[in-house]
Structure 1
Amino acid sequence: MKPVNTNSSPSGLRITDMRFVDIDGAPKRCTLIKIMTNQGLTGYGEVRDASSKLYAQMLKSRILGENPCNVDKIFRKIKQFGWHSRQGGGVSGVEIALWDLAGKAYGVPLYQLLGGKFRDEVRVYCDTDVDGRHTGRDMGRALKKRMDMGFTFLKMDLGIGLLMDEPGTINAPLGFIDDMKKYAPQVLNVQGGSVTADMVKHQKSYAIVNTAHPFTGIHLTEKGLDYLENYVKEVREVIGYEVPLAIDHFGHVCVEDCIRFARRMERYNIAWMEDMVPWMYTDQYVRMRNATTVPVCTGEDIYLKEDFQKLILAGGVSVIHPDILTCGGALELKKIADFADEHGVAVAIHMAESPVACMAAVHAAAAMNHVLAMEYHSVDVPWWQDMVTGLPKPLIRNGFIQVPDGPGLGFEDINEEVVRAHINPNIPGLWESTDQWNTEFSNDRLWS
């Protein structure tokens, strides 16, 4: 394979450079990482979707000259610079690039470096959106098309964004909902809502975006609950009750209303309800799980295993949902999954990224004792798989991805022609010099 140097000497391998390219629409904005070495080996990683590459760039001076095969040593050196959600993207992205290099240096796939594999293929669940105002039957038909493509596990968005144009369904301080529509639609989880630069500059937008669920004052009326329940009923009438169906993106609503909603959902065989309140409110997760028979899930925004352990030990989750580009990378994901397995908590993997992070997650999933499924959010991105070379086409067959046996992450190389065609126009450049980060210095020791 092109990036593999069969004459490499792992003990003498050293990191010499790290560069980036920003991709738009795969399915979100993402940044690919390329780490180069003194022996011609190249390793690829990725910064978490909708994150900033600054979280990775600042790590360059900390890893230059290091042997990338010493993954755990380097991880312990840089993990203090990660944090939850998108702030974990730099450390996590570098970590999987190191594993890619280590695998290529020794000629083995990542799953082997994580202890070997439990499975030859990984089930993927298909996350599905329907744009604009629509009914449950519309969503059901969209999901049915995914089933016809071979997917065996489904997820859809379901939340207060559906109620925006339905009078009498939401109770909130007068004018607050209108402000949210205008300045921060993602708080409502309206389809297509995202933070823009102009919104960030607006003081009211900033205040709304940073208002967590317990503090918004938004409540659902009984009419609103009736609407959402009927929506799910219509979905099930189209897709049936045999296929697992998870739900996500409920909206910034207090835990009491989440419980009211969950009780309405119990008859519809929901696989899990995801991120109903912010992950750090452990007590609220315990209240919610104890109040409903719908499995409770969170985790895509949690960095490192310690906060997963808190939720699991408290009894707040039935399913955890780590993202390899936030949680700390492949080895940390394996540790998190092992802890969940020991405590009877199921693991699904969040993944809304490029094929680079996808394949890293596939290897980690293969090395887990148990895994429900891994997310796939790019069905409607026709060039998604073409970003890399050396993988079977189609990558997903009958709802599964075969675990590759190639070294490192298992693909051959980045397809620069495809990547160049989809570079983020606001952040142009392909693997441009990052020499300005070579000597960034700080006394990083955490004690005097």
Structure 2
Amino acid sequence: MSSHGDLPAVTEEHVPTASRPSDLRITDLRVANVAGVPFRSSIIRIDTNQGLAGYGEVRDQASATYALVLKSRLVGENPCNVDRIFRKIKQFGHHGRQGGGVSGVEMALVDLAGKAYGVPAHALAGGRFRDEVRCYADTPSLPDPHEMGARLLERKRRGFTMLKMDVGVDLLWDVPGALIAPAGARADSTTMHPFTGIQVTAKGIEHLASYVDTVRSVVGYDVALAADHFGHIALDSCIRIGRALEPFTLAWIEDLIPWQLTDQWRQLTEAVAVPTCTGEDIYLLDGFRPLLDAGAIRVVHPDPATAGGIAETKRIGDYAQERGIPMALHLAASPIATMASVHLAAATENFLALEHHAADVEFWSDLVTDLPRPLIQDGHITVPDTPGLGFGAINEDLVSRLLDPHDPVFFAETTHWDRESSHDRLWS
């Protein structure tokens, strides 16, 4: 019989020792900037002292600097302490694309923790409510509603059970009498909605309603259809558009006014019988509380690549559920952030659908390995049981060919960020 002193050695003969979670440490953070997946994205790779690598993704069209500035705060940390590290770095994120660094790093930490413990990311988030995640296909609009309907119908025939299109002032600029707008308003993308002076006339309202009516006649009423990109118009025009679109049973009308204007969202929601939806540019649960506490929207729509990553976005979903509000997920990303969102969606009970913005990107599913091809089948993604985010690795050859021509180095070394430092404490 073995002595007590022999027990550890005997036990180790029967367990895997390639990863010792308690000894895992972050050694490096690098990014690869890629284009066309569908937009410009920065893929994050966090390396460790045990050879494990975790992947995340900075939000589409955001600066990789939002992630790189975090490197000196991460090196030496145990990535399995996801919540501890998140609390340390969340002060360096903000709304919109500025949340992309913290959120992408959190995804990579969850990927690493899952790999270290040998469990899928949804298990770390509390387990799953579903085996498949429904996706909705976002589709840029065409001026002709019959052509737009045909484009959406092609998505439906691929198996998507939910679709989204753009409906707004971009369809009206060339329609005589549809808009009242000051000079230069068409090119102005920086002025907040209430201050642009753009008004939609009765003729404009009628044109938009006719457009949606035609699209619905093509795709039918057996598929969910949402609408987005209404333009920078004030509340009164938004209410009139919302009321005109009521007959078409839309899944939601999205981002009609800035998310910061809680009281205006409440007024809009109370005025129309169409679900209202916003949230893609809000960072952290604290940013969502005013809208949710006021009952100002009917669907909450965070982007996990802005909101704070997997765990924080689940907290947002759970908070919304307590107030009777479902959660859809905004996303325009590669399969990396998509798989992070799949695990999040699987673990969140009030989840509705996950945005897919790359229905026309033929190589999209090939960006990572060891997942089904195509990744989206019949409008759904199967929730994997493999560790971390669930894919084997990134497709290095393909990613290398897609590198941003302005920054064409594949996971370039980042030692110049090692000594970036600051007294970060937020109290004295």
TM-score range, shorter chain: over 0.9
Task: Provide the residue aligned with 1:217 in structure 2.
Answer: 197
Write out per-residue CA displacement over residues 69-125 of structure 1, whole angstroms, 9 at most, x where no aligned residue: 000000000000000010000000000000000000010000000111111001101
Q: Which amino acid aligns with 2:245?
A: M
Task: Provide the residue aligned with 1:15 in structure 2.
Answer: 26
Task: Provide the residue aligned with 1:165 in structure 2.
Answer: 174
CA distance in 1, matches of 2:67, 2:189: 24
TM superposition shift of 1:342: 1.1
Matches within 5 A, 1:203-352: 208-352=188-332
Task: Please say if 1:71 is aligned against 2:77.
Answer: no
TM superposition shift of 1:361: 0.2
Task: Please say if 1:52 is aligned against 2:70.
Answer: no
2:340 to 346, 349, 360: 360
Task: Provide the residue aligned with 1:107 in structure 2.
Answer: 118
Task: Provide the residue aligned with 2:53 in structure 1.
Answer: 42
Helix, strand or coil at the partner of 1:414 = coil
Q: Which amino acid aligns with 1:162?
A: L
CA distance in 1, matches of 2:93, 2:333: 19
Q: How many residue pairs get matched?
A: 413
Task: Provide the residue aligned with 1:445 in structure 2.
Answer: 425
CA distance in 1, matches of 2:314, 2:377: 25
Helix, strand or coil at the partner of 1:156 = strand
Task: Please say if 1:136 is aligned against 2:128.
Answer: no
TM superposition shift of 1:358: 0.1
Task: Provide the residue aligned with 1:153 in structure 2.
Answer: 162
1:95 to 99, 103, 106: 106
TM-score normalised by L of structure 2: 0.95
Q: Which amino acid aligns with 1:153?
A: M
Task: Provide the residue aligned with 2:8 in structure 1.
Answer: none
Write out per-residue CA displacement over residues 110-159 of structure 1, whole angstroms, 9 at most, x where no aligned residue: 0000111111001101111245xx21111111111111101101111111
Task: Provide the residue aligned with 2:11 in structure 1.
Answer: none
TM superposition shift of 1:307: 2.1
TM superposition shift of 1:380: 0.5
Runs (4+) of structure 1 moved beyond 4 Å?
none
Task: Provide the residue aligned with 2:371 in structure 1.
Answer: 391
Helix, strand or coil at the partner of 1:297 = strand
Task: Provide the residue aligned with 1:176 in structure 2.
Answer: 184
CA distance in 2, matches of 1:56, 1:304: 17
CA distance in 2, matches of 1:210, 1:429: 33
Say if 2:145 and 2:215, in contact at 8 Å, map to a contact too. yes
Task: Provide the residue aligned with 1:127 in structure 2.
Answer: 138
Task: Provide the residue aligned with 2:7 in structure 1.
Answer: none
TM-score normalised by L of structure 1: 0.91
Q: Which amino acid aligns with 1:346?
A: P
Helix, strand or coil at the partner of 2:31 = strand
TM superposition shift of 1:6: 5.6
CA distance in 2, matches of 1:400, 1:383: 18
CA distance in 2, matches of 1:377, 1:265: 24
Write out per-residue CA displacement over residues 367-408 of structure 1, whole angstroms, 9 at most, x where no aligned residue: 011211111111100111111001011211111100011100
Helix, strand or coil at the partner of 2:194 = helix
CA distance in 2, matches of 1:324, 1:109: 17
Say if 2:366 and 2:373, in contact at 8 Å, map to a contact too. no
Write out per-residue CA displacement over residues 49-79 of structure 1, whole angstroms, 9 at most, x where no aligned residue: 0100111110000011000000000000000
Q: Which amino acid aligns with 1:409?
A: L
TM superposition shift of 1:365: 0.3
CA distance in 1, matches of 2:408, 2:196: 38
Q: Which amino acid aligns with 1:164?
A: W
CA distance in 2, matches of 1:304, 1:112: 22
TM superposition shift of 1:210: 2.5
CA distance in 2, matches of 1:422, 1:394: 19
1:377 to 357, 362, 366: 357
TM superposition shift of 1:242: 2.2
Say if 2:239 and 2:268, in contact at 8 Å, map to a contact too. yes
Q: Which amino acid aligns with 2:354?
A: M
TM superposition shift of 1:209: 3.2
CA distance in 1, matches of 2:71, 2:189: 31
CA distance in 2, matches of 1:21, 1:38: 21
Write out per-residue CA displacement over residues 322-378 of structure 1, whole angstroms, 9 at most, x where no aligned residue: 111000010001111111111100110111101000000000000011211111111
Matches within 5 A, 1:389-428: 389-428=369-408
Say if 2:141 and 2:167, in contact at 8 Å, map to a contact too. no
Helix, strand or coil at the partner of 2:211 = helix
CA distance in 2, matches of 1:243, 1:386: 28
In structure 1, the gaps of 5 or more residues are 182-207
Helix, strand or coil at the partner of 2:381 = strand
RMSD: 1.0
Identical residues among aligned pairs (%): 55
Structure showing greater Rg: 2
TM superposition shift of 1:41: 0.3
CA distance in 2, matches of 1:164, 1:21: 39
